[in-house]
Amino acid sequence: MDPDYTDEVLIDLGRQALAVEIDGLRAQLPRLGLDFARACRICLNCRGRIVVTGMGKSGHIGGKIAATLASTGTPAFFMHPGEASHGDMGMITRDDAVLALSNSGETAEILTIVPAIKRLGVPLISFTGSADSSLARIATVHLDIGVPAEACPLNLAPTASTTAALAVGDALAVALLKARGFTEEDFARSHPAGALGRRLLLHVRDVMRSGEAIPKVAPEATLAEGVMEMTRKGLGMTAVVDGGDRVLGVFTDGDLRRAWDRAADVHGTRMQEVMTRAAKRIHPGTLAVEAMLLMETHRITSLIVVDEHDVVVGALNVHDLMRAGVV
């Protein structure tokens, strides 16, 4: 390596590249006008999917744009233009729309499939860096994503231009997201394995313990029997229920400590004497994240789950929520 390339020089080169890319993004702002709105309306009116295509670096950006659209409420997929000429054109239906990316607007693989796209009668949106290019002229709607210069000092490697294409693609996706009224819950359904998906899609019924795993005792049970039930079930509490399994109260570790402080007779004291009557409970259809919020608000670590008749159907504690990835 050239010894003149000190740490300071390398840092300065990186900052210069970022400055060029920032200039490229700024150049997009005044161009986002009626053509952008028309592109949005094509996507909103599309009854099928947005088929995104691009070659080389534009193809990589196109793949990301397709993924962003698909995850934010606009069905989309990426189609390689080279493969399209050899059978993949069959992926496009008459209900679809096509978004083609080409900085030059003269990419041969894309221009080759344009006649077939036109024969299908589907709208074609183009992102190019030249309003006079072949692709720009033939498109239903053209968005000029040209940049003053590439960050590459040779002005050859796609850098600022691909950043601009990606940003305008994001702008399109966000505008569509807002216009569709796309919500956090919609996003979670597209990302069921992600943290947001776990927070917004998991319900108490999905994480609660049920059946024999539910700690519960009768009000006439002794304190010793209540402690044994807590120990067996490992939730740090037990529900106190009547003959129909309706909640009368809850007995927790805190209640146990208070009973010890009073020197309660473990064999003579009944659960109805030491239980907390105002037991916090939750319904199985409640979001798991709301159960976590209830626990945090009241500084408790477990909850009884009841149905609409206040009958115990489950129980859970903070560790169940942690294992489920809710927190």
User: For residue 101, what are the β-bridge partners?
Assistant: 54, 127
Residue 296 located in a structural domain: yes
Same domain, 166 and 211: no
Give the pairing type, strands 76-78 and 124-128: unpaired
Which pLDDT belongs to residue 186?
62
Same domain, 66 and 176: yes
Same domain, 316 and 171: no
Largest CA distance in the chain: 93
Same domain, 240 and 210: yes
Give the pairing type, strands 247-252 and 237-241: antiparallel
Same domain, 18 and 161: yes
Structural domain including 49 reads 7-182
**Residue 24 to residue 129: CA distance in whole angstroms:** 11
Residue 198 located in a structural domain: no
Q: Give the residue among 103, 260, 90, 242 at the shortest CA–CA distance from 166.
A: 103
**Residue 134 to residue 10: CA distance in whole angstroms:** 39
Same domain, 96 and 159: yes
Contact 75, 66 (CB under 8 A): no
**Residue 151 to residue 163: CA distance in whole angstroms:** 10
Which pLDDT belongs to residue 193?
53
Residue 193 located in a structural domain: no
Same domain, 96 and 243: no
Please list the rounded mean pLDDT of every run of 10 residues in the chain (327 residues). 82 94 95 96 96 96 95 92 90 96 96 94 96 96 95 85 96 94 67 56 87 94 93 91 93 90 89 91 89 89 92 92 77
Residue 199 located in a structural domain: no
Residue 187 located in a structural domain: no
**Residue 89 to residue 139: CA distance in whole angstroms:** 17
Same domain, 61 and 160: yes
Q: Which of 182, 215, 230 represents a domain boundary (last residue)? A: 182
Same domain, 170 and 233: no
Residue 194 located in a structural domain: no
Region of residue 56 (left: phi > 0; alpha: psi -120 to 50; beta: else): left
**Residue 271 to residue 259: CA distance in whole angstroms:** 10
Q: Which two tokens stand for residue 69?
A: 């659209």
66: domain CATH number?
Answer: 3.40.50.10490
Residue 91 located in a structural domain: yes
Same domain, 100 and 176: yes
Which pLDDT belongs to residue 289?
83
**Residue 115 to residue 89: CA distance in whole angstroms:** 11
* Cα 319 to chain centroid, rounded: 24
Same domain, 303 and 262: yes
Same domain, 42 and 113: yes
Give me the residue label for tokens 């037991």: 279
Coil, strand or helix: which one is 141?
strand
Question: How many residues does the structure list for the chain?
Answer: 327
Give me the residue label for tokens 């000029």: 144
pTM above 0.75, yes or no: no
Residue 189 located in a structural domain: no
Domain count, the chain: 2
Q: Give the residue among 297, 306, 302 at the shortest CA–CA distance from 236.
A: 302
301: domain CATH number?
Answer: 3.10.580.10
